[in-house]
Amino acid sequence: MKADNRLIVALDFHTLEDVKGLVETLEDSVSYYKVGMELFYSAGPGVISYLKEKNKNIFLDLKLHDIPNTVGQGLCSLMGLGADIVNVHASGGFTMMKTAAEKLHEAAEKQGVACPKIIAVTILTSINEEDWQGLGMQCSIREQVVRLAKLAKKAGLDGVVASPQEAAAIREACGEDFMIVTPGVRPAGAAINDQSRIATPAAALQNGASHLVVGRPIRAAENPKAAAEAIIAEIANV
């Protein structure tokens, strides 16, 4: 089955060997992969080179969160790897996001390469109402997600990471030309794991998501290729 660029498979492994196992099993069904901290901290940049050799698109999900200069310089260090999407935490604030986007664009221009898309994590999809209360927040999760998405857009970012349950509100607030990458995607009947604010693949796209991040429902499936293809078939007509 032909890959759908809207499906990003999370490579939450510790070794390049495990990555190769899944990427080779999924073959041409999947064209976009997410490399997060679990994999990058243990396997390093070699995993990005491997995915590029395989002509895959890469979302490097390291969720940078620090003072503006440190995040900006950190992104410049990642620039040479050739990821297609990188990200920061929106709760780092407007100045941090703006500096991050500016430094990244400057570095791309200097190196004469295409600038990766830069997106911001709003509120983790694992946060539930109880976690939210514990953080002492006065507004609802949705209000805060929309506030952070608008701030990210104003800071010059290309989009956000958010729950599929908030995608419609973000789409309305930030317009059509804004990436909304949604983890917390669970096909009907799949295990929820530690996610809280979830939706099915088709519902996530119907709500306005531009990309879906799916990890365990594919990785832990008895037949990962069949699981990926079932999602591609489900979203084909959305």
Q: Which residues bind ligand C5P (CB under 6 A)?
A: 10, 12, 36, 61, 121, 124-125, 161, 183-184, 193, 195, 213-216
Of residues 25 and 193, the one with the C-beta less far from ligand C5P:
193
d(CA 1, CA 207): 25
Smallest distance, Å, CB 94 to ligand C5P?
19
Cβ atoms < 10 Å from Cβ of 38: 14
Of residues 107 and 232, the one with the C-beta less far from ligand C5P:
232
Question: How big is the CA angle at 70 (ends 84 and 141), to the nearest 5 degrees?
Answer: 70
Of residues 107 and 197, the one with the C-beta less far from ligand C5P:
197
Query: What's the Cα-to-Cα distance from 199 to each of 59, 70, 137, 184, 217, rounded to whole Å?
Result: 21, 35, 24, 7, 13
Structure token pair of residue 138: 């006065």
Smallest distance, Å, CB 185 to ligand C5P?
6
Smallest distance, Å, CB 133 to ligand C5P?
19
Smallest distance, Å, CB 12 to ligand C5P?
5
Using alpha carbons, select from 125, 124, 116 the residue that is nearest to residue 157.
116
Q: Catalytic: 63?
A: yes
Question: How big is the CA angle at 39 (ends 66 and 233), to the nearest 5 degrees?
Answer: 105
d(CA 199, CA 122): 17
Q: Across 80-150, where does the E strand assignment appear?
A: 85-89, 117-121
Q: Which residues are catalytic?
A: 63
